[in-house]
Amino acid sequence: MHRGSTAIPEKSFGLRSPVTGEAKSPEDLWPPGEPVPEHLQKADQQKGITGENLLNLLERRLDNIVYRLGFANSRNEARQLVLHGHFAVNHSKVSIPSYLVKPGDVVELREKSKKVVRILEALEGVARREFLHGWRWIKIR
């Protein structure tokens, strides 16, 4: 493109209107008749770059945090552990995998769940991980 040109780069046609050059909304990008996921709508409403906002929201999900901490071998397993009520956030049982954890929230394993064999094995594995010791916000008890 030449300096001062107002032409829209061809690469942007997937996310921008080819006529006006304006960014498309999530509703424009989603198949007609299908509901737009709630996280995508929230990410679009926040200030900043929608893609980064979406990644931030997905990383804050309780099932993702359980997976990242090593309590589950897959996100599906983490989702199941959360659904079965094995975790509490700020001392309250949470069984919603899509629960968004905020900075400062305390995610803990419920007392009765510390006797479950699968979780005991995961706790031993988590305690052995050296990289967790650098994370100030994680306390393994």
Task: For residue 125, give the CATH number of its domain.
Answer: 3.10.290.10
Q: What ranges in 46-109 are assigned the alpha helix state H?
A: 50-59, 62-68, 75-83
Average pLDDT, the chain: 76
Does the pLDDT at position 54 exceed 90?
no
Residue 140: pLDDT band with limits 50, 70, 90: very low
Residue 87 domain-assigned?
yes
Does the pLDDT at position 123 exceed 50?
yes
What percent of the chain clears pLDDT 90, i.e. is strictly above it?
21
Residue 120 domain-assigned?
yes
Looking at this protein, which amino acid is placed at residue 36?
V
Other Cβ atoms closer than 10 A to 56: 14
Looking at this protein, which amino acid is placed at residue 114?
K
Residue 130 domain-assigned?
yes
Residue 28 domain-assigned?
no
Does the pLDDT at position 96 exceed 80?
yes
Looking at this protein, which amino acid is placed at residue 73?
N
* Helix (H/G/I), strand (E/B), else coil: 140: coil
Give me the domain span that covers residue 108: 36-141
pTM for the whole thing? Answer: 0.67
pLDDT 10s digits, 76-91: 989 999 999 999 999 9
Mean pLDDT, to the nearest integer, of 37-44? 77
Residue 4 domain-assigned?
no
Residue 72 domain-assigned?
yes
Does the pLDDT at position 44 exceed 70?
yes
Identify the pLDDT of residue 25: 65
